[in-house]
């Protein structure tokens, strides 16, 4: 299987967990989009679901394909969120935010009874950090916030370049109007400690460490799909 075929395989297995009448959180990114396409086929054939998208991009695709949507205020408690990840380890700790939707993704995941991660084998790591960690920051005081993040990283023994994400000729802006600081640590031995430390920095809106949120990961590879269960 090529990369897209693996994403479709993971999405198809995740779709088996979707039941009629569910309130779904619908993720962002290339793997999540394959799930939306498969979900739309089921909806066209009579499956009744209501979805809460984690980004404007996902919302547009859902509308285009006929997946019914609600806001999170209309459906504040969700049955299941299905989303991709930029990295996942054996304990279902994740790095997310490569697509810039980490704040909404985390809010939706936290509002869900369960979260299933869909990914291909390339996203599985022993230790998080190979993928740059996205840190969503407020534009106001961005330089001060960056310095605070750098000092926090140094205190935890983390090194590596940090750069504001760009798009075209300017800075990338999230759906919420924030900036993304990508931190290339290379390796994050204690993801929990870093998550707690980043949460104390006032200018940090959210970060891409998703800990204790995913309940299941469906990982597709050339030989098929395997499951990582948080219970194990």
Q: Which residues are catalytic?
A: 105
Of 56, 134, 139, 149, the C-alpha closest to 97 is: 134
CB 182 within 8 A of CB 198: no
The span from the first CA to the last CA of the chain, in angstroms, equals 28
For residue 188, what are the CA distances in angstroms to 40, 95, 183? 37, 11, 11
Q: Which residues contact 56 (CB under 8 A, 6 or more apart)?
A: 175
CB 31 within 8 A of CB 120: yes
Strand order from edge to edge, sheet including 50-53: 50-53, 23-26, 78-83, 112-120, 216-221, 224-229
Q: Which residues contact 96 (CB under 8 A, 6 or more apart)?
A: 83, 84, 85, 86, 102, 105, 106, 134, 208, 210
């Amino acid at each position: 299987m090529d990369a897209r075929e693996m994403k479709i395989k993971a999405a198809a297995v995740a779709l088996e967990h979707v039941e009629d009448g569910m309130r779904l959180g619908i993720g962002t990114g290339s793997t999540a989009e394959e799930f939306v396409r498969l979900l739309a086929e089921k909806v066209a054939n009579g499956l009744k679901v209501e979805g809460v998208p984690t980004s404007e991009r996902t919302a547009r695709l859902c509308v285009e394909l006929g997946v019914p949507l609600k806001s999170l205020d209309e459906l504040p408690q969700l049955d299941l969120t299905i989303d991709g990840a930029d990295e996942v380890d054996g304990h279902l700790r994740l790095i997310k935010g490569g697509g810039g939707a980490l704040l909404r993704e985390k809010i939706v995941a936290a509002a869900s009874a369960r979260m299933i991660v869909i990914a291909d084998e390339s996203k599985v790591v022993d230790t998080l950090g190979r993928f740059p960690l996205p840190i969503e920051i407020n534009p106001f005081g961005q330089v001060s916030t960056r310095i605070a993040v750098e000092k926090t990283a140094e205190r935890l023994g983390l090194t590596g370049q940090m750069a504001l994400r760009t798009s075209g000729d300017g800075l990338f802006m999230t759906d919420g109007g924030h900036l993304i600081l990508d931190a290339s640590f290379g390796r994050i031995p204690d993801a929990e400690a870093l998550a707690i430390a980043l949460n104390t920095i006032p200018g940090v809106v959210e970060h891409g460490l998703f800990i204790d949120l995913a309940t299941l990961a469906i990982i597709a590879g050339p030989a098929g799909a395997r499951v990582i269960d948080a219970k194990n």
